[in-house]
Chain A
Amino acid sequence: MSIWEYANPLKFMGWTAPLVPVLWVLSGIALTVGLIWGFFLTPDDYRMGATVKIIYIHVPSAMMAINAWVMMLVTSLIWLIRRHHVSALAAKAAAPVGMIMTVVALISGAIWGQPMWGTWWAWDPRLTSFLILFLFYLGYMAMWAAIDDPDTAADLTSVLCLVGSVFAVLSRYAVNFWNQGLHQGASLSLDSEENVHDVFWLPLLVVLAGFVLLFLALVLVRTRTEIRARRLHAIALRERMG
Chain B
Amino acid sequence: MPDLGKYAAEVLSAYGLTLVLVAGLILATWARSRRVRRALERAEARRADG
Q: A51 to chain B: which residues have CB within 8 Å?
A: 7, 10-11
Number of interface residues of A (CB under 8 A): 35
| Shortest distance from the beta carbon of B16 to any chain A beta carbon, whole Å | 10
Report A213-237 residues with CB < 8 Å from chain B CB: 214, 218, 221-222, 224-225, 228-229, 231-232, 235-236
Interface of B is mostly: helix
Smallest Cβ-Cβ distance to B34: which chain A residue: A225
Is A206 part of the contact surface with B, judged by Cβ < 8 Å?
no
Task: Given A44-B5, A228-B37, check contact A107 B14 (CB 8 Å).
Answer: yes
Q: A50 to chain B: which residues have CB within 8 Å?
A: 2-5, 7-8, 11
Chain B residues within CB distance 8 Å of chain A: 1-8, 10-11, 13-15, 17-18, 21-22, 24-26, 28-30, 32-33, 36-37, 39-40, 43-44, 46-47
Could you pull out 12 A-B pairs where Cβ atoms are within 8 angstroms?
Answer: A40-B1, A50-B7, A50-B11, A51-B10, A100-B22, A100-B24, A104-B18, A104-B21, A108-B14, A108-B18, A115-B7, A239-B43
